[in-house]
Amino acid sequence: MSRSQETARRLGAAQAALEALPPAVLRVAERFAREGHEFALVGGPVRDACLGIPPHDMDFTTSARPDETLAILTATGATTWDIGKEFGTIGASYQGITVEVTTYRSDEYDPDSRKPQVAFGDTLEGDLTRRDFTVNAMAVRLPSLELVDPCGGLEDLVDGILRTPIDPHISFSDDPLRIMRAARFTAQLGFDVDEGTMSAMAELADRLDIVSAERIRAELERLMTAKEPRRGIEIMEYTGVAEKVLPEVAALKSTVDEHGRHKDVYEHTLTVVDQAIDLETDENGPVPGPDFVLRFAALMHDVGKPATRQFGPRGKVTFHQHDIVGAKMTRKRMKELRFDKQTIKDVSRLVELHQRFHGYGEAVWTDSAVRRYVNDAGPLLERLHRLTRADSTTRNHRKAMRLQAAYDDLEQRIAELEEKEELAAVRPDLDGAQIMEILDIKPGPAVGRARAFLLELRLENGPLDPAEAERLLRAWAEENL
C-alpha cells in the first residue's frame, strides 16, 4: 500500500471513529459555536481515531477563556468542577460523558522548573505547536469534523515516527517529562523516534532531575504496561535516560562479557520481560495482563548481578546471592520513585524468590520444601510461576526442555499438596486463642513465638491433629517459655 493510500485509510478510520462521537459532545460543541467560540477535540483521542480506535478520555480545547467555558458548560446543564482553572481547564459531566475543556495556551517555561508560566493563546494552530509530539498535535474542529494538523502529525503517524512539533531541544528543555513520554509512546504505539528527537533525548537527559519522582514513576508504569515495553526500555538505555531513571537496568550492560563466559544479562533481561508478558492471562485467569508487578519484576530480576559477579578458576563466572542483593536494590529504587508500599513489597519479593526453583530438577524436594516454596510466595505464587518460567532463555534445547519438565513437575506437586492440605492458606494447627488457653499465657511476644513454632511444624510435617499439636506445643513451651 502506498503512503498516500495509507494516509487515506487513516483518514477514513478517523472519520468513522469521530462520526461515532456521543451526540452530547456535538451538542456541547454547537453551544460553544453559538457563543462565538471555537471548540475542538485534541491530542490523544484524535491520534487514536486515526489508528481506528474509538476516542475515550476525551480532551477538548477552545478559544473561550476559562470563565466563559464555565458559563457555557453550566448553561448546557452540565455538572462542572474546577480541576485547574488557573491552567485554563474546566471539567464537566454532561448526559453521561465526562470531559475536560482547556483554553488555547501558549506557555512559557522557567528553565529551573517544568511548571509552565501559563499564557492563554488565540489560535488552535498555536495551541497545537506547544504539544509534545506531532502525532498528539492534531485536532478535529467540532461540530464540523475538520481535521487540523499544522505539524504533519498524520504523516508521522503513517510513517510510525515520533517527532516533536518544534525543535526537540526546546521542547524537552521546556518540559523534560516529554523525554520519558517519548520512551512510553514508543512502547505504547510501536513507533520509532526520529534521529533528531533521539539525539535531544540523550543530550537533555539530565533535565529529568527537575521532574518529580511521582511523574517519572507514572510514565514508567505506563511504559511497562504498554504493548511493547521492550521498545521503551531499549530507547531509554540507548539515549542514557535509563541511567537517570533506572540506573540498575542500565548497569546490566556492564556485564557483557567479550570472552563469552556467560550470557548477556541485559539482552537476557529484555527477553525475560517479553516471555513474562507472553505468560500473562486474560481477565479470567490468575495473572490478567498487563500486569505491572510481573513485568517490572522481570525487568529487575537480575539487577543484582553486576554487584555480585565474580570470576573463579578457569574463567567460571558466578553471581552468588544476586537475588538477595537485587531485591534490596529493587526496593531502594522503587522507594525513590515513590511507588506504593504494596507494589514495592510484591516486586522486590518476586526478585528475591526468582532463583528459589533452580536446583529442583537436580535434587528431589521434600513435601516440606514444596510447602515452604508456596508459603514464601504467598499470593505471588502465580506470578512467581510465570517469572520462573520466563527466566529460562537458554538456547540449549535439551536444557530448556529439562527446566520446563522440572517446573511442570513442581507445579503438579503443588497442585497435589494443595488438594490435600489447602496450601494457599497454610496456618498453624492452633490459633492464638488456643495457644493462650493451653499455655495459660496472656497476649504478647510469647504467643507470637509459639505461633511461629507451630507454623514451622506445619510446614515441615503437614497438618497435625489438634491433640498432637497441643502435645508438641507443651513440650516446646517447657524448654522455651
Per-residue pLDDT reduced to its tens digit, 27-52:
999 999 999 999 999 999 999 988 88
Rounded to two decimals, what is the model's pTM?
0.84
Whole-number Å distance between alpha carbons of 423 and 431: 17
- Per-residue pLDDT reduced to its tens digit, 88-123: 899 999 888 888 999 998 766 666 655 666 788 889
- Alpha-carbon 163 to chain mean position: 23
Whole-number Å distance between alpha carbons of 65 and 88: 7
Backbone φ and ψ for 105, nearest 5 degrees, come out as -130, 155
Dihedral in degrees, nearest 10, Cα atoms 164, 339, 355, 371: -140
> Is there a contact between 120 and 105 (Cβ–Cβ < 8 Å)?
yes
- Per-residue pLDDT reduced to its tens digit, 166-221: 999 999 999 999 999 999 999 999 999 999 999 999 999 999 999 999 999 999 99
Dihedral in degrees, nearest 10, Cα atoms 402, 404, 409, 415: 170
Whole-number Å distance between alpha carbons of 359 and 278: 25
**Max CA distance (Å), the chain:** 88
> Is there a contact between 41 and 90 (Cβ–Cβ < 8 Å)?
no
Take residue 327 and report the three cell numbers written for it: 531485591
> Is there a contact between 273 and 233 (Cβ–Cβ < 8 Å)?
yes
pLDDT > 90 fraction of the chain, expressed in percent and rounded: 54
Q: By C-alpha distance, which of 47, 15, 43, 42 is closest to 158? A: 47
Q: By C-alpha distance, which of 210, 123, 127, 149 is closest to 174? A: 210
209 Cβ contact list (under 8 Å, min separation 6):
244
What is the pLDDT at residue 363?
Answer: 64
> Is there a contact between 157 and 137 (Cβ–Cβ < 8 Å)?
no
Q: Omega of the bond prior to 290 within 30 degrees of 0, cis?
A: yes
> Is there a contact between 77 and 94 (Cβ–Cβ < 8 Å)?
yes
- pLDDT reading at 259 higher than 50: no
Dihedral in degrees, nearest 10, Cα atoms 255, 259, 263, 267: 60
> Is there a contact between 435 and 447 (Cβ–Cβ < 8 Å)?
yes
- Alpha-carbon 247 to chain mean position: 17
- Per-residue pLDDT reduced to its tens digit, 373-391: 888 898 999 999 999 999 9
Across the chain, mean pLDDT equals 87
Distances (CA, A) of 115 to 66, 105, 169, 173, 357: 19, 14, 17, 12, 48
What is the pLDDT at residue 89?
Answer: 92
Backbone φ and ψ for 318, nearest 5 degrees, come out as -130, 155
- Per-residue pLDDT reduced to its tens digit, 417-473: 777 666 556 677 777 788 887 877 888 888 778 788 777 777 777 777 888 777 877
Q: List for the chain the helix, strand, coil content (%; round to 5).
A: 60, 10, 30
Alpha helices in 175-240 (DSSP H): 177-189, 195-203, 213-224, 229-239
Burial of 178 (0-12, 13-18, 19+ CB in 10 A): buried
Take residue 398 and report the three cell numbers written for it: 535439551
Q: By C-alpha distance, which of 245, 339, 325 is closest to 292? A: 339
What is the pLDDT at residue 261?
Answer: 47
DSSP class of residue 164? Answer: -
Cross-strand pairs, 103 = 62
What is the pLDDT at residue 479?
Answer: 79
162 SS3 class: strand
